[in-house]
Amino acid sequence: MAGLRELWGEVIPGAGDLADQLVRRYGYRAKYLIVILNALDSLEHLATDPVAVRLAAWFHRAAYSANRTAMDDAAASARLAEKLLPEYGVDEMRTAEVARLVSYSGGEGANGAVLQDAVNALLADPEYATFAAEIRRDTRFDIGVRREQLRAMLASGRIYRTDLAHERYEPAARANLAAELELLDHMALSRWHGWQHSALSMLAIMAAGAAAAGLGGAVGPRPHDRVSWQPVLMVALALVSLFAVTWAARRTDRTARLVAAAPVAIGLVGAVVVLASVSGPGPRVTTMLLGSVALILGGAAAFAATWFTPAVARNRGRTVGILGAAVAVILLGILFDAVQNSHLLGANEHVDHRHDAAAGTH
């Protein structure tokens, strides 16, 4: 299959940099647009303005945010088209038509029917199960809304508006949608679905929060302890890590995994810095080391959470996952406290032994 950039062609002569900008905007979502553009190759002759339809396909989800609804994304994409297209010589009438098509992902008329059918070609694609799985990992996914959408499409007389698309895609699309609906019905009935994501997310947030709170106790002057800047820096990084894992644990994309890896790196570097630059057996040394371990644990849990589908609703799995994570953090806190006390006791005995040996020489 051709790459996305190669599919731009000469839709606007001399506008290769616009194509490059749009390709960057789609990122990992480029594979969806490729399916749509390939479908347009056989459908656009049915449109009254094939260029406007192709431009609308390129812009139809160019502005995407996980924090917006699909309707908001469409409106933002239409505004983007209205801003950029005149800069490349597209006249006012065609720009307005592109914005209209993007705003409604099709809309009325022959142009709207062609664009909508090209977008819906995704429903008949052999890789549709993969597309549907990624939709379910979206933070905006609502299983109840999606099930109703699927039922409505399957109950309709036809999914595709043009006869050509109806003949070409309708059977495969209905089979894919029926399979997705069956899967969602099973997921909705599952009382334990999503426990892994709930447990890992809660573990990540609580571990990072415990690290920030614990490291906060290491800040401030203490006798016989030469630590100065390290505790302050570690607390600041722990707070950043807390926000990072809270954000990442709720998502399931590549960016979330990269963000979740940051606290792990911070914890590892922090442990190395403490061991390399802090001298003496002071209590802050142990606190900072345990805080680093907690950051590593929190980041690792957030990273793992991004690979699981969140619970679609409040269920037993979600409740058990959250409670299990809370118990795990409490047990880890008890373990960390025991390790800290053991370390301090051993350090005190070492110091006392040295004092006794020194006294015996006099």
Amino acid identity, position 159: I
- pLDDT, one tens digit per residue, over 299-345 is 999 999 998 877 766 777 778 888 888 888 888 878 777 776 775 55
DSSP 318: H
Q: Which of 57, 44, 33 is nearest to 110 (CA)?
A: 44
Task: Give the list of residues 6+ apart from residue 85 with CB closer than 8 angstroms, or none.
Answer: 12, 55, 94, 95, 98
Confidence label for 1 from pLDDT (cuts 50, 70 and 90): very low
Could you give the domains of the chain? Answer: 1-192 (1.10.3210.10), 195-360 (no CATH)
Burial class, 348, CB count within 10 angstroms (exposed 0-12 / middle 13-18 / buried 19+): exposed
Rounded to whole angstroms, the Cα distance separating 328 from 199 reads: 10
Neighbours of 308 (CB within 10 A): 18
Report pTM.
0.57
pLDDT at residue number 351: 45
Contact (CB, 8 A) for 52 and 111 = yes
* 10-19, 81-90, 273-282: least confidently modelled range: 273-282
Task: Give the list of residues 6+ apart from residue 323 with CB closer than 8 angstroms, or none.
Answer: none
